[in-house]
Structure formats: structure tokens, C-alpha cells
Amino acid sequence: MLEVVDHPLIHAELTLLRDRHCPPQRFRSHVRRVASLMVPAVTANLETEPVPCETPLEVTSGVTPSRPIILAPILRAGIGFFDGFLDLLPEASTAHIGLARNEETLRPEPYYFKTPPELPKAEVIVLDPMLATGGSAAEAVTRLRAAGAVRLRFACLVAAPEGVDTLHRAHPDLPIFTAALDRCLNAKGYILPGLGDAGDRIFGT
């Protein structure tokens, strides 16, 4: 399943952050806002269960999420995208997945992996602003599944069709949400039109 989250405010924020002249401070704010704007779509089918709720006047019924939520940012750039999700899901815990794409082979190289103990029963939202070749996202989901995760979904800011295909082939049941589906990859594995290197633009490196 691929959902391109379509909203005029997302389009406007994306236009501002794609601009090569957008400095890191503003870039981070735009990424954070797009992430928050995506949360309702990414969580639309989360299961809830009924709970009693005592208002100042009487007892009524409400709902609470049936399972814990884990946000799983792929380091580094995933951290910038994570903030906007955490703003709307403040009780989520975090799984950190350190992967660095080798500039020559374009394969992800793992360097860190730490997950909360509730991973097997949680709804896990894997976060990375960029889905380019799809290698990093596929590797992150493989590692999370090996560690016990069962319910996963993936959210990104910008996806290339090549990355969507790779991720679908590696994990056919994984729902993918993106704010934009761009045209293609260039010879160096960068997304076109894209936004450049997300990690460098978030952290000013």
C-alpha cells in the first residue's frame, strides 16, 4: 500500500523546504510541520479500545490506542522528521536505527540499533525523510522484524518510485506513506527533483 498524503499545507511546506536557499533552521521547521501534518493519515487506522471517562458532570465513554506506539527514526535524518511525529504522539517511545548509506555502493551500513522492550506488541512507525533506492528503509524494517516487531508502517517526506518498488518487494505488507512521490533517482542515487541531502540540510553539515 502506498499513500501519497495530499494536503495543500503539505505542498506549500514542501515547496519552501525544497528551495536550495532554505537555511537549516527554517528547513528543520518545515520538515517538522510536514511530519505533523502527515500524522493523521499515517495513524488513521490505528486500533483503539473503549475506556471510561469521567467528565466534571458525569461518566461517559472514550477511547485509547489499543497498543503502545513506537516511533523508529532512521539516523541521522530521521531525527528531524521524528520531532513532528512526537509532537502529536507524545507518549510514543523511540527505537533508534543507525544506518549510513555508503556513497559508492549506495548500500546501508548499520552502526546502531536500540529498541524499547514493548516492540513485539507495539504499532511501529518507521521514519526517514528520504526513500531513495529503498535500501535503508528495507534494512530498517528487516532489523525491526528480526527484533520482534510485528505491526509496522513506514513514513517519509519524499519518495522515489525506485525506492517504493524496492521496499514493496522486500516487505509487501508494509504500508508506505509519503508527502511526495518524485520523478526518479539520478546516477548518484539522489532523488529528482528532491531536496538534496536531508541529513546535511537538517544538521548543517
Q: Assign residue 36 a region: left if phi > 0, alpha if psi is -120 to 50, beta otherwise?
A: alpha
Report how far residue 199's alpha carbon sits from residue 205's, in angstroms, rounded to the nearest whole number.
8
C-beta of 66 vs 105, nearer to ligand PRP: 105
Does residue 74 bind ligand URA (CB under 6 A)? no
Comparing CA positions, the residue from 5, 1, 4 lying closest to residue 168 is 1
Question: In whole angstroms, how close is the CB of 67 to ligand PRP at the nearest point?
Answer: 26
Tell me the closest approach of the beta carbon of residue 186 to ligand PRP, in angstroms.
12
**Window 56 to 85, contacts with ligand PRP (CB under 6 A):** 74, 76-77
Select from ligand URA, ligand PRP, none the partner in contact with residue 74, using the beta carbon and a kind-dependent cut-off of 5 to 8 Å: ligand PRP
Cα angle 82, 138, 80; round to 5: 15
Q: Which does 79 bind (CB under 5 to 8 A by kind): ligand PRP, ligand URA, none?
A: none
Q: Return the one option of ligand PRP, ligand URA, none that residue 84 interacts with (CB less than 5 to 8 A, by type).
A: none
C-alpha dist (Å) from residue 114 to 72, 117, 143, 148: 10, 10, 10, 12
What is the amino acid identity at position 163?
Answer: G
Task: Name the site residues for ligand PRP (rule: CB under 6 A).
Answer: 74, 76-77, 99-101, 106, 108, 128-137, 163, 189, 198-199
